[in-house]
Structure 1
């Protein structure tokens, strides 16, 4: 099944293609982590506001929403 990794004809394509696929997955994970950090901070703030009224100001809400 993975014989093309060792065949001379496909050697360059298989290793370069694998490197491209793995590096694109790595970049996608880094982007997903950044998005998750933002959503985490935003929704933690919303949960704090719902748990204790008047615990955040409207300016904090809008600033977080616009960021």
Structure 2
């Protein structure tokens, strides 16, 4: 996800302190980033089957606090 007027690297650091993993970067997708006119980095939050509701709550609360 992109964060208007916010740096994804700052979001990554903010979330890491809260034990929520969401890396910042272009994720080897230079062509799509260029085609969509996105500025790297973006924030990647990818839930997986092993994530718990607590994991998701930390991520969403961390994003809300950051934004």
Interval containing the TM-score (normalised by the shorter chain): under 0.3
Pick the structure with more helix per residue.
1
TM-score normalised by L of structure 2: 0.27
Choose 1 or 2 for highest CA Rg.
1
Q: Which structure has the higher relative contact order (CA within 8 Å, separation 6+)?
A: 2
